[in-house]
Amino acid sequence: MKAGNQKTTRVWLHGASGRMGLEIQSALEGRRDSVILMGGSGRKFIGDSLLTGRPVSPEKLAHAISHGVDVVIDFSIAEGNELLLQAIKAIPPEKRPQVLIGTTGLSEKIRKEWTKIAAKMPRGCVFIAPNTSRGVLATIEGALRVQEMLKDSRCDVAIIETHHRLKKDAPSGTAKMFSDRLSENQGPSDPTLTIASVRGGGVFGEHEIRFMGVHDEIIITHRAYSRSLFAEGALDLAIWQHKCGSKFKSKLISLADFAGASRASRSEK
């Protein structure tokens, strides 16, 4: 595969053979002017002329992604993410690509390991994005505004997330992210925030934030109709990270950081 110019984001797709990996590969067909897939990995390598078909190991993966890759997009599983972690560790800091992590269900221990890795990246960052939909980002930003306006109402807040029966982690990474952001704005005497998870059928992803008062209720819902929503969003975030990640060099960043940077960019125009 050809290397791109400075305006092109060169990505490596980890978890390439999974549902999201295949969806991202499909989305890449319409992004050839802005994103180039340099190769991918799952249980085996794909798209790399030297490694295709061979089993993935941290050493081989480190070699593959340390040359000509701007951003590694990770949509694997917890074990696959840990393999990627070991691969990045094996790369000298100055040669490490930036990493966009869409994998959910990561343990606190692994998140701390990624923080340590990010601290030694002199040219970029590690970006943990449990949901790559811009609509989800708009959902939590809107919910935070509602929470602020209802601060004196002592509303009970509940997050209800629904996904297909094969999703392994519960609650979802998105629900946890919603909970973390909303909890930051709660006082010690505010009602407890609760999360409920539902698994069934083929639901791509539905998240509902309920603000329940004594006399009324506000419900904010995000409902995904296809995985292409997350695939297109992942590519948008990878392009942004390639362009702006140096502003967050040596940091582990989140969707909240992305939202803040986006607001700052709009205010400058």
Distance (Å, whole) CA 52 – CA 20: 20
Starting at the edge strand found earlier in the chain, the sheet holding 217-223 runs 194-199, 156-163, 206-212, 217-223
Residue 2 pLDDT level (bands cut at 50, 70, 90): very low
Among 40-49, 120-129, 161-170, 247-256, the minimum mean pLDDT is found in 40-49
Of residues 166 and 5, more confidence is placed in: 166
Q: Distance of CA 239 to CAs 6, 34, 49, 100, 139, Å?
A: 11, 8, 24, 10, 22
DSSP one-letter code for 180: H
**For the chain, what is the mean pLDDT?**
92
pLDDT digit string, tens, across residues 194-235: 999 999 999 999 999 999 999 999 999 999 999 999 999 999
Determine which one of 60, 63, 167, 249 is catalytic. 167
pLDDT digit string, tens, across residues 103-126: 998 999 999 999 999 999 998 999
* Residue 163 annotated as catalytic: yes
As a whole-number percent, the residues of the chain with pLDDT over 90 amount to 83
pLDDT digit string, tens, across residues 153-188: 889 999 999 999 999 899 999 999 999 999 998 877
Cα angle 214-219-221, degrees, rounded to a multiple of 5: 165
Cα angle 104-110-115, degrees, rounded to a multiple of 5: 105
DSSP one-letter code for 7: T
Q: State the CB neighbour count (10 A cutoff) for residue 220.
A: 16
Residue type present at position 84 = L
Distance (Å, whole) CA 14 – CA 1: 17
Determine which one of 163, 207, 222, 242 is catalytic. 163
Query: String of b and e for 94-129 (b: at least 16 CB within 10 Å)?
Result: eebbbbbbbbbbbeeebeebbeebbeebeebbbbbb
* Residue 112 annotated as catalytic: no
Residue 215 has what pLDDT?
94
All structural domains of the chain? 9-131+228-268 (3.40.50.720), 134-223 (3.30.360.10)
